[in-house]
Chain A
């Protein structure tokens, strides 16, 4: 399953990048700082805003209001906790450090409300692809780790703001990494979910 999805992703990227008929349209690359907020299953493991995240995205416009592209991100989430762990018929106390590294690799598509590049352009987009997530659970001297690839969908809304030589980007998205493999913390469902709040710079070529 994972191999097939990766193949589809790779082929799509090659086709998008290699299609010379699209060369007449503009390109956009962005580098953003991402703050993430785990929700659902992910929040059971690590909760609260997470301040370490970065993403690179390249978009190619098919017309003035529609672009496709790819995105690579790196989102780090971690927390230190001394909460008592309840077990069946017992408990464990000690310092826990829980962490995840999530690396989404997505094909994306966006629709822009405005055609004018000099205006603030709100957009809505969708990303699909694979996310590599490692989870680590350190408990005292013991450490449990898992590594999995998750099929991922990521709806996003944002705005491109003209600033001069470069543009600015502010966006919010929801990453839903579907169940895959095992968690490091014993939960059977390894679906991972988090919001991304993104601010960054955009470079355009016309």
Chain B
């Protein structure tokens, strides 16, 4: 295409082309549609079970009345990102679902354990991210264009994960480790403005809803 096409006398056809080009640029000003995602859209619930497990054969379960707060590799540590405020609601919601599935709760007893043990745990971590922004203007005429020094913006978000692990004490190995026969992991943003208690409860509800095979006979 010759340059004269662009700089010659303006006619309606060229104006239309300009309008079409500007329209296309506006259309593509953002790659993907903005789905207006809220904090709850970042909530995720994953459930897995050990193949071959006959959940119908279980009758009883035991569950310590505490939520283990994980901090790095420390099993019994505390995590400053996590609040104890929701622990009882978490444990009672899990217990309600277990009862609805037909399990009978018994006292925690390591010498005469229940059919399964539920261990509820939570972890939290903070991710820091950096955005580098290089505004750049292409060359014009004989100039090579210009640019501004890079500016850096820094942000962070905290995420939390709630784990519900179902262990089978009867399958304990020689090192006294219990195999996990089912687990649920609910992951989401911490410190979000939407109600954390509701999001936690809904996540636990969803974990059991997508695991109908847990029902006892």
Query: Which residues of A sit under 8 angstroms from B24, Cβ to Cβ?
Result: 31, 33, 54
Could you tell me how many residues of chain A have their Cβ less than 8 Å away from some Cβ of chain B?
34
| Cβ contact of A80, chosen from B31, B35, B188, cutoff 8 A | B35
A58 to B17, CA, bound (A): 14
**Are A92 and B46 neighbours in the complex by a CB distance under 8 Å?**
yes
B148 within 8 A of A: no
Contact size range, B? 35 or more
What residue in chain B is nearest A205 (Cβ atoms)?
B5
B88 within 8 A of A: no
In whole Å, how far is A202's beta carbon from the nearest beta carbon of chain B?
A: 10
| Cβ contact of A140, chosen from B16, B35, B44, B211, cutoff 8 A | B44
**Are A78 and B13 neighbours in the complex by a CB distance under 8 Å?**
no
B20 within 8 A of A: yes
A203 within 8 A of B: yes
Query: Which residues of B sit under 8 angstroms from A182, Cβ to Cβ?
Result: none
Query: Which residues of B sit under 8 angstroms from A141, Cβ to Cβ?
Result: 42, 44, 159, 187-189
**Are B46 and A31 neighbours in the complex by a CB distance under 8 Å?**
no
**Are B17 and A91 neighbours in the complex by a CB distance under 8 Å?**
no
Mark out the residues of chain A between 173 and 206 whose CB falls within 8 Å of any chain B CB in the assembled complex: 200-201, 203, 205
Shortest 5 CB-CB distances between A and B: which pairs? A140-B44, A90-B48, A165-B13, A94-B44, A95-B41
Q: Using a CB–CB distance below 8 Å, which chain A residues touch chain B?
A: 27, 29, 31, 33, 52, 54, 58, 74, 76, 78, 80, 84, 87, 89-95, 97, 99, 101, 139-142, 164-166, 200-201, 203, 205
Known: A89-B51, A140-B44. 5 other contacts (CB 8 A): A90-B49, A93-B206, A99-B32, A165-B12, A203-B13
